Amino acid sequence: MHVKAAIFDLDDTLFNTHEQLDLQYRGIDTVVPFPDSRDTLAFLKMRGMKLALVSHGNTVIQMQKIAALKVGEYFDAISICAVSEDKEKEFEHIITQFKVPRPEVLIIGDRVEREIEYGNRLGCITVQFCGGKYAGVVPQNDFQKPHYCITRLSELKQILADKRPVSL
């Protein structure tokens, strides 16, 4: 599989938001990424891939999370949308900015009704991170069906090596 770019979600994709819900009490600087997040991002960068991070929420809080997770250095573009519905337009903007054909872009996220649906509508390869609280959400239409489902980010290496069958 020839993939030139990947667009990641933040919450429940690079770190477990659900298990770290008490951030307001402990402080955002205490968040930790999934064990293989940084290694996988470094691997993708070494392959020459362009990486983007698109999240939604309060810009200051999301940027504090990115800094605490120490993942910002891996991304060529970081975008925080005020509302989740803006993510699809932002995906499209980044794909245009990266000058990469849509079928050569991975969209990785945990929500079938957001990242997966938006990525499929754009003609990208979609990868659902099935390790969080939305893992059991049943797709309501064909656009919400991911091409792949993973429980660890390091599984992206197998997908890129064509050693994982499409999960549709």
pLDDT above 70 for 164: no
What CATH code is carried by the domain that includes residue 104?
3.40.50.1000
Please name the residue ranges forming H helices in 18-103.
23-26, 37-46, 59-69, 87-98
Whether 106 is in a domain gets the answer: yes
Of residues 35 and 62, which shows the higher confidence score? 62
Residue 165 lies in a domain: no
**Structural domain range at position 21:** 5-160
- In this predicted model, what pLDDT tens digit does every residue of 73-124 receive, in sequence order? 999 999 999 987 899 999 999 999 999 999 999 999 999 999 999 999 999 9
Sign of CA dihedral 138, 154, 159, 3: positive
Number of domains in the chain: 1
- Decide if 126 contacts 114 (C-beta within 8 A): no
Place of tokens 């309501």: 140
Q: Per-residue pLDDT for 166 more than 70?
A: no
